[in-house]
Structure 1
Amino acid sequence: MLKKLKWITMSILLLCLGIVGYYTYSFAQFAMTISKPKVDVTSNASQEPVVQKQKPPVYELPEWEGTERVNILLLGGDGREVEDAGRSDSMLLVSIEPVTKQVHLFSILRDTYVSIPGHGKNKINAALAFGGPELSMKAVSDLVGLPVHYYYYIDLDSFIKLVDAVGGVDLEVEKDMKYLDPTDKPEYQINLKKGMQHLDGQKALQYVRFRKDAMSDFTRTERQRKFLGAVAEKLQSTSTLITLPSMLKEMAPYIQTNMSPDKMLQLAVSLHKGTGSIQTAQLPPMELLREEKIHGASVLTVNTSQLQKYVTGQLQETATNQEVQKSEQQ
């Protein structure tokens, strides 16, 4: 009986190790596929990624050691051609505290008027067109007062395929959304009906891009945060975890990042038990922004020092609340 019990125990252990090994291998393959080499801004060799039209100014990327807060910029380009990333259609800054599992998701209004190094003043979404993801990182870092360690980039076509790779998302569409542009591709036209529905890649793109309503980009960034929250929730479900290896293989061709595979694995390990509640906010917040016309264009201006204090306050408030909850549980 004892011999049989030992055999069963060993079999279960080997099975668990096999599963862990399979998942680790799948993640490693995914990380190596999406990770792109850093651009050497001091070299004359033409090694820039395809999303970059010209060499960005030098941006010394801050090192992330693995235990301190890490800030990751999510970029969605609105370019219609492979060689042209266009401007960033969406910009979201994910700030993660690996030790406490505290996560903040800041959506940045694309019409925010900022100084873009080497290009003067412009809307912040122009940084992608001027100098690729690295210049976008620099512009966002200067705006919010936080080091931006990494970026993840995806274009419109890849967004559709990426959402399809995860099997779509069930989401409540809060109102009818319709905007038809005869000069654009059929897959980029917007025509959604109000109500709970399953969003595949094309419908999801319509949902996160729609802004033809009274609040324009303000409500659109809310929808983008809502959609990402739904995706995050789905990815943590048991049914999704079972199919995760094959899902990662399907997703890999559509994402580009400068985060190395070892750093991805380090972050994944620190968050392997999930995260706490995700705190979301719009930048600049309504109380700090001003709508202005500059050189005939409608832009949003903000006092940078006040905005940076706001961001710091958001991070500190969550940390304080966590400490209070921890002391109450003890």
Structure 2
Amino acid sequence: MRSDRHRKKRRWKKIFVLFLFILGGVIGYSYFQYKQGVNQSLKKLDGEREEEQMVYKFEGKKDQYGGTNILLLGSDARGKEKSRADTIMIAHYNEDKGTFKLTSIMRDSYVDIPGRGKHKINSAFAYGGPELMRQTIKKNFDIDLQYYAIVNFQGFVHLIDEAFPNGVEIDVEKKMSKNIDVTLEPGLQRLNGEQLLGYVRFRQDAVGDFGRVERQQKAVKAIGEQLSSIQTIAKLPKLVGVLTPYVNTNMDTSDMIFIGKDFFSGNRGTVETLRIPVEDGFTETRVKGEGFILKLDLEKNKQALHEFITK
């Protein structure tokens, strides 16, 4: 009887040691892949990396529904140059449900910026960085943001090229070339990083920024759907490493990998999207000193955003 117990103990000890060995191997491999991605991007930068990345205060927290909201800002500014946010998105992550949703806020939305008065929402970034953008979104839409990530557009290009050696499959709806540094022909095709960046930035047509926001959301969905695989999850530490030199964020690497793991999992379902302002929730007009703006029906847009997050 005693010998049976000893055998069981020895067996469990072996299993435990094996588990620790495997766990150590996974952690070591993940760290190696992460550093490989970082070094790969640094080489591509050819010494042009900013001397010191801006350090931003960000007093974020989870929203009142218990969800994690990440403020995503796209910028092509260099160094400490002041710039308005070219892209403003909120990624909504519900850990319990395993769901991801994406809200795009149009940059010409005319809102009250704390301490600055009425302006286009994208100017909040130039006035006070991601923290003032967080305060602006909270003041106008009553939603909290826990994290921020300012992504340099070149980081987006390198991430796409690393994750998709054969390109991202996108149905390009029309010929595009003006002010995007590439020429895209219509039709279903695979776009590399530079081409996809041009696709999501194009706005020189009749629908302007409305079409650009729609294409951004379409591209995010395509990336998520085409990345959902075991192979992608294994590459996730390297992908995070590739992006790291190009992103300013208050998220830890472990946070990014944890959330990214769920996003790239095939079980998360379709990424739902919302645009602010919503249909019939704004009027187009001009304001002296600001030019073309979108005047929002704040209550209608706030209600739409909260319903979108909680449904």
If the TM-score is normalised by the length of the shorter chain, which range does it land in? 0.7 to 0.9
For 1:278, the equivalent position in structure 2 comes to: 271
The 3 A distance-change label for structure 1 pair 147 and 64 is closer
One-letter amino acid of the structure 2 residue matched with residue 174 of structure 1: E
For 1:199-243, what per-residue CA distance to the aligned partner results, in whole angstroms no more than 9, with x for missing partners?
222111100100111111111111101111122223322332343
* 5+ residue gaps, structure 1: 1-5, 34-47, 181-187, 319-330
* Structural mapping, 1:1-330, within 5 Å: 17=23, 20-22=26-28, 25=31, 49-50=53-54, 60-62=59-61, 68-79=66-77, 81-167=78-164, 168-180=167-179, 188-261=180-253, 263-264=255-256, 267=259, 274-295=267-288, 297-316=291-310, 318=311
The 3 A distance-change label for structure 1 pair 104 and 226 is same
Residues of 2 paired with 1:118 and 1:227: CA distance?
35
Residues of 2 paired with 1:147 and 1:26: CA distance?
35
One-letter amino acid of the structure 2 residue matched with residue 177 of structure 1: M
> Is the Cα–Cα contact under 8 Å of residues 103 and 275 in structure 2 kept in the other structure?
yes
* 5+ residue gaps, structure 2: 1-10, 40-51
Residues of 2 paired with 1:199 and 1:90: CA distance?
20
> Is the Cα–Cα contact under 8 Å of residues 163 and 201 in structure 1 kept in the other structure?
yes
Residues of 1 paired with 2:250 and 2:118: CA distance?
26
**Cα displacement (A) at 1:63:** 5.3
For 1:140-159, what per-residue CA distance to the aligned partner results, in whole angstroms no more than 9, with x for missing partners?
22232210111111123332
Q: CA RMSD in A?
A: 3.4
**Secondary structure, counterpart of 2:195 in structure 1:** helix
**Secondary structure, counterpart of 1:291 in structure 2:** strand
Q: Calculate the TM-score normalised by the size of structure 1.
A: 0.74
The 3 A distance-change label for structure 1 pair 99 and 291 is same
Residues of 2 paired with 1:222 and 1:240: CA distance?
26
- May I ask how many residue pairs the two structures share in their alignment? 282
One-letter amino acid of the structure 2 residue matched with residue 76 of structure 1: G
For 1:56-86, what per-residue CA distance to the aligned partner results, in whole angstroms no more than 9, with x for missing partners?
8xx6422589x9211111110142x322251
- Provide the identity percentage: 32
> Is the Cα–Cα contact under 8 Å of residues 174 and 194 in structure 1 kept in the other structure?
yes
Residues of 2 paired with 1:70 and 1:27: CA distance?
27
> Is the Cα–Cα contact under 8 Å of residues 89 and 104 in structure 2 kept in the other structure?
yes
**Secondary structure, counterpart of 1:88 in structure 2:** coil
The 3 A distance-change label for structure 1 pair 219 and 136 is same
The 3 A distance-change label for structure 1 pair 96 and 26 is farther
One-letter amino acid of the structure 1 residue matched with residue 294 of structure 2: L
**Cα displacement (A) at 1:271:** 6.4
One-letter amino acid of the structure 1 residue matched with residue 197 of structure 2: L
Deviates more, 1:229-238 or 1:191-200: 229-238
One-letter amino acid of the structure 2 residue matched with residue 162 of structure 1: L
Residues of 2 paired with 1:263 and 1:15: CA distance?
24
Residues of 1 paired with 2:253 and 2:18: CA distance?
29
> Is the Cα–Cα contact under 8 Å of residues 87 and 125 in structure 1 kept in the other structure?
yes
For 1:326, the equivalent position in structure 2 comes to: none
> Is the Cα–Cα contact under 8 Å of residues 98 and 271 in structure 1 kept in the other structure?
no
